[in-house]
Structure 1
Amino acid sequence: MTAQLPPDMAQKILAGDRRSLARAITLVESGRADHRAQAAALLEQLAGSGRQALRIGLSGTPGVGKSTFIESFGMMLTAQGLRVAVLAVDPSSARSGGSILGDKTRMERLSRDPMAFIRPSPSQAHLGGVARRTREAVSLCEAAGFDVVLIETVGVGQSETLVAEMTDLFILLMAPAGGDELQGVKRGIMEMADMILVNKADGDLKPAAMRTVSDYAGALRLLRKRSQDPEGFPKALPVSALAEDGLQKAWDEMTALATWRRENGHFDRCRAEQARHWFEAEVREGLLARLHSDPAIRAKMQSLGDAVAAGQSAPAAAAAEMLGLLGA
């Protein structure tokens, strides 16, 4: 990455230049202070583009077929003339920080599609398996003119709240399962889901998939009715990524839900709330970074942390002492 931001990078991104988009995403993912400053300047330049994509978060248990689904779903959308960006977040190693980054090999057909853009990013051990700068990468893809941005997340857990806070629709992909396995799906995830898609609804698994759809549909009806949902949502549907069956129905339902939310003001209100949330998150991260950048403060944090670890001080008391030193 060059020391200075290329003066025409924003224009190239707006023109849909894929290489400039890839370089810009590398820039926003960097933790270097000079790169962060350049990324902020670039995003500010692009903020007035007014372009919006439909942001779809996709989560599911390992082995459910997320990559196969995204490839089949993405190919269907590009065949309809839509430009699709996939931000696939891979697990990072907790020890080395390394990442498999194998999404392009798992989505070989889609990666060759000129209407698609796939960007694997290491999760960097952040909560929910979502890279810290994924939301900025989404903004870059929108500015580049993509119509749909799919965010594939790692696994399923309470931390997937992060995905819901940066997307317009949150889709949960599940495999055919018995009723007992429904108990293993955390209530928080079910409450966030706008739609549950039961994959692998083909061949011998189709009867089980249809039963699972019925189970999830019943569970969703019992959970809640949200003001931002029209009648019938959230809902569960069967799909087969392998047979490419049910994908158009799922897309029709997604677009129907997004359209209803736009027409009723929920879409823009949700986007505004998300923007405020991420502004506050940036402030918190900046304050923490400033704490760690001051040697004296860092040393005091270390000594208080050691005292807490040794049982010599209670966490609340140590935190109060640290905040007192900072004048907070």
Structure 2
Amino acid sequence: MFTQRFSRLKEKVTHSALHEKEGIPPPEIFSKTSIEKITHFRKIQPTSEALISGIVNHDKVSLSRGITLIESTNATHLKKANEVISGCLPHANQSVRIGITGVPGVGKSTFIESFGTYLTTLGRKVAVLAVDPSSSLSHGSILGDKTRMEELVKNENAFIRPSASGDTLGGVARKTREAIILCEAAGYDVILIETVGVGQSETAVHSMVDFFLLLKISGAGDELQGIKRGIMEMADAIVINKADGDNVNKAKLAKTEFSRALHLFPLKKSGWQPQVLTCSSIENTGIETIWKTMEDYFSLVQKNQFFDANRQQQSQYWMMETINDQLKGNFYSNPNVTASLEKWKELVVQHKVSPFTAASELLEMYFKK
């Protein structure tokens, strides 16, 4: 019986539709020559100068390769990545950076699809990046499923990049901020940065954007219950998404509740009073109003010079964060520290030394290297 089944299976494979039919040549893209060309192209490692030239000339392949270089954990790629970033820096800083956060299920991908597509109709070039440190653990990513943005991903004036991988939020956020520089150099004048909406990722995104948008949905019980005060303080606008169908009245009620809550907070340093808006990403309603609100914000902060001051403060912050991140990495990769770390952990657990003493000893060991 097994032999018969195997024979039938072999016959099916032999006559599979994947096999070239007689007289019908395969598509050019699947030809042996094309595959060899693609393989050869992938093996070629362009120089820093070639990548910079490609990026500033708006080549998406060069942009993708540049970001991949930034995300690489290979120590030999660090110098080349820094050269690319430095070469792109004079061409950057000509965009508005918008952070978008919200808990899973709030409709971030659908909103970005609708909002980003609308911006491209205005002649804007839109880049979508993400900060999601959990992706390295789950082997997934927000934005990993680009089919959720099937219209935007096909748009010539849009560029979508899934989350950078990394074990720490600091490392992922740093890579994302460096990717912003490359996207700006490539001519993208609106950078949308999506965050997973849990943990400290909102704080990281807030420190690299000009405008911070909080997405909410109505009909989930008490609208204000469970929302972190810190996120409310960071938000420049709260958008009640999915305001369509039976949710229209619920969305209006949620808008009223959030508006009242926002008036209890002190005025932001930017001088801006955060707004509460509603939209339907499915019906594309409210999207135009959201962009108009952002334009009003940018007009205000550019006039009162908060825009430039905030950018300068963010650059200094990320310089210090990069120093901290690299020092931490160097510390834990030090052979002497690696050899002694578990011993000191055990001594701390056994209450034979205090955590502070153990840390001091390990740091002294590191600096004696």
Residue matched to 2:329: 289
Deviation string for 1:146-177 (max 9, x for gaps)? 01000111123444110100111110000013
SS of equivalent to 2:282: coil
Structure label with greater radius of gyration: 2
Mapping of residues 245-324 of structure 1, within 5 Å: 245-324=285-364
Percent of residue pairs identical:
44
Residue matched to 2:204: 162
> Structure 2: how far apart are the matches of 1:224 and 1:179?
26
State the Cα distance separating 1:292 from its structure 2 match: 2.8
Shift in CA distance, 284/264, structure 1 to aligned 2, threshold 3 Å: same
Shift in CA distance, 124/260, structure 1 to aligned 2, threshold 3 Å: same
Residue matched to 1:98: 139
Structure 2 length-normalised TM: 0.82
Counterpart of 1:184 (choices 226, 229, 240) is: 226
State the Cα distance separating 1:98 from its structure 2 match: 1.7
Deviation string for 1:88-139 (max 9, x for gaps)? 34564565x6224533111001000101111112453433995441001111
> Structure 2: how far apart are the matches of 1:185 and 1:84?
29
Shift in CA distance, 2/188, structure 1 to aligned 2, threshold 3 Å: farther
Shift in CA distance, 177/312, structure 1 to aligned 2, threshold 3 Å: farther
The one-letter code sitting in structure 1 at the alignment partner of 2:249 is: P
The one-letter code sitting in structure 1 at the alignment partner of 2:242 is: K
What runs of 5+ residues in structure 2 fail to find an aligned partner? 1-42
Mapping of residues 204-243 of structure 1, within 5 Å: 204-230=246-272, 233-243=273-283
Structure 1 length-normalised TM: 0.92
Residue matched to 2:38: none
> Structure 2: how far apart are the matches of 1:128 and 1:288?
11
**Contact persistence 2:170–2:321 (CA under 8 A):** no
> Structure 2: how far apart are the matches of 1:278 and 1:88?
17
> Structure 2: how far apart are the matches of 1:4 and 1:109?
31
Residue matched to 1:45: 87
Counterpart of 1:75 (choices 117, 123, 142) is: 117
Mapping of residues 9-48 of structure 1, within 5 Å: 9-48=51-90
Moved >6 Å (runs of 4+): none
What runs of 5+ residues in structure 1 fail to find an aligned partner? none
1:54 aligns to 2:103 (yes or no) = no
State the Cα distance separating 1:31 from its structure 2 match: 1.2
> Structure 2: how far apart are the matches of 1:300 and 1:70?
48
